[in-house]
Amino acid sequence: MRIQPLALFLCVSALHAAEPNGIDTALQRMYNQDYVAAHEILDRTIATSPQDPLPYAFRASAYLFYELDRLGILESEFLTDDKQIAEKKKKLDPDPVTREKFVRAVHDVETRADAALKINPDDPQALFAMSVAQGVATDYMAFVEKKQFSSLSIAKRSNSYAQRLLKVDPKFYDAYLTAGISEYMIGSLPFFIKWFVHFDNVDGSKDRGVERLRLVAREGHYFKPFSKIMLSIIGLREKRPQEAQQWLTELARDYPQNRLFRKELAKVNTKLGINAN
């Protein structure tokens, strides 16, 4: 039986930048689908602070978002209809240049975060960067390389780093995104697969997963928009289009240049019988 794809969609962003509000600006550009501008900001950030693992994590995230966008994987039909996933994934053609850049960015995160964690195993920035790196690696393997089951082991590592971070700082709200997706993922797995899968501090409660995502949507900073994306997908998968409309309305308002948010909102409005005019 196929693993629920939403659970593997862990693609995310990083935390800090050397220039004032640099990562915030990069996030704004990425969620407006301006990947070139996002990378330009990250390049300046990395040049200023080359040993900080977090900008590299966001660089990997931007490469992943670009590839998912290019391949049409972010369309709601792909993320909510398992039959379409089975049919469409056979047609995907990953870009080898983007893959090479993505793999290098993930490696850059891991080497720098590992060095920081050897000095301080509770370094919150390094723990978060590792959670991000493993999360985007999960997504790339699951969606681009079509290895959904194999990607579970990487998703497990991403959750482990997030859980360690939450023990260090329970108010590090962005870390609840990974924890929330992990809860929803395990809760969506078929029983016979769930029997063999164990994630730290995860019971497999879909309701608890949604609660954690809502917490990030309220209190998070860098993950606030991504939590809303996930909540909108969950709303569509769970046949609750009104909830999806709420989150997509906010996303379309906050990121007006994102054509996908507008397109998905129009689909939901049509389903609800709402005239866009």
pLDDT of residue 12: 41
Closest CA to 103 of 128, 140, 130: 140
pLDDT of residue 151: 87
Question: CA-CA distance, 110 to 59, in Å (whole number)?
Answer: 13
The residue extents of the domains of the chain are 5-271
* Confidence bin at 192 (pLDDT 50/70/90): low
* Six token digits for residue 277: 């005019």
pLDDT at 22 over 60: yes
pLDDT of residue 164: 97
Closest CA to 180 of 157, 160, 149, 159: 159
pTM: 0.85
* Six token digits for residue 2: 């196929």
pLDDT at 13 over 50: no
pLDDT of residue 198: 75
Identify whether the C-beta of residue 14 lies closer than 8 Å to the C-beta of residue 132. yes
What distance, in Å, lies between the first and last C-alpha atoms of the chain? Answer: 43
Identify whether the C-beta of residue 71 lies closer than 8 Å to the C-beta of residue 99. no
pLDDT at 77 over 50: yes
pLDDT at 62 over 70: yes
One-letter amino acid identity for 87?
Answer: E
Q: Which of 16-25, 29-38, 49-58, 194-203 is predicted with the least confidence, judged by mean pLDDT? A: 16-25
* Confidence bin at 199 (pLDDT 50/70/90): confident
What confidence tens digit (pLDDT) does each residue in 26-53 have?
999 999 999 999 999 999 999 999 999 9
The predicted model gives 55-79 an average pLDDT of 89
Identify whether the C-beta of residue 76 lies closer than 8 Å to the C-beta of residue 233. yes
In the DSSP assignment, the letter for residue 150 is T
Specify the higher pLDDT residue, 167 or 81: 167
Structural element, H or E, at residue 263: helix 259-271
* Six token digits for residue 64: 């992943």
CB-based contacts of 59: which residues, under 8 Å, 6+ apart?
14, 39, 42, 46, 105, 108
Identify whether the C-beta of residue 191 lies closer than 8 Å to the C-beta of residue 144. no
Is 5-271 assigned to CATH 1.10.260.40?
no
Identify whether the C-beta of residue 260 lies closer than 8 Å to the C-beta of residue 71. no
pLDDT of residue 147: 86
